Amino acid sequence: MLDKIRSQLVKNAAQILRSPVHFLPTKIQNKALLEGLKTVFKEALEDGDFEFLEQKWLKVHIRDLNLSWYISYNDETLVVSESVEQEDVSFSGNLNDLVLIAGRKEDPDTLFFQRRLSIEGDTELGLEVKNLMDSVDLDALPKPMLSALMHLAEFVHKGLQPAQGASEVPNAYSN
């Protein structure tokens, strides 16, 4: 029964979250995303690993939430914007797939070839972004953030699995 509840929560996560997320002001969304990125990519930022994104824009689009962010790197700092004239590369996927990628439960290449992750625009820039994401040492994240990410990714992963050993148990009260 708990597996069914988890499965339904995972299956309907985007539908459940869509309205509350869209009521959250864009400035707050962008600030939260920026602070999260600074934490996750702290080491890469200190090492100047984002220089390839200087004066270029990465669009991250969560399709089933209809939510997009634009990320760039200018004057040695990350920038998040709600809109730009033209992005250079775009990554898009559904919420659950992006959670699985972040928690390293799915490989981005696999999802790309299954058409669950889309990368459009400057493919060289997209490859640099993907390689930077792959290089993140998750163990360097703050423990609460790492724990939350791992638990969420595991929850989604299990919720997407087909029910094992599930067979219809007849209802004793049905005819």
Could you state, in order of their start, the residue ranges of all structural domains in the chain?
A: 1-159
pLDDT of 98: 93
* pLDDT of 53 strictly over 80: yes
pTM (2 decimals)?
A: 0.83
Contacts within 8 Å (CB) and 24+ apart, 142-145: 142/39, 145/39, 145/40
Higher local confidence (pLDDT), 167 or 125: 125
Burial class (CB in 10 A: 0-12, 13-18, 19+), 122: middle
AA identity, residue 122: D
- Locus of tokens 């790309």: 112
Question: Mind listing the pLDDT tens digit for each residue in 107-164?
Answer: 988 998 999 999 999 999 999 998 898 888 888 888 999 999 999 999 999 999 875 5
pLDDT digits (tens, 9 = 90+) for 40-52: 999 999 999 999 9
Q: Whole-angstrom Cα distance, residue 99 to residue 44?
A: 21
What residues does 78 pair with on adjacent strands?
73
| CATH node for 1-159 | 3.30.1050.10
Of the chain, the end-to-end C-alpha distance in Å amounts to: 23
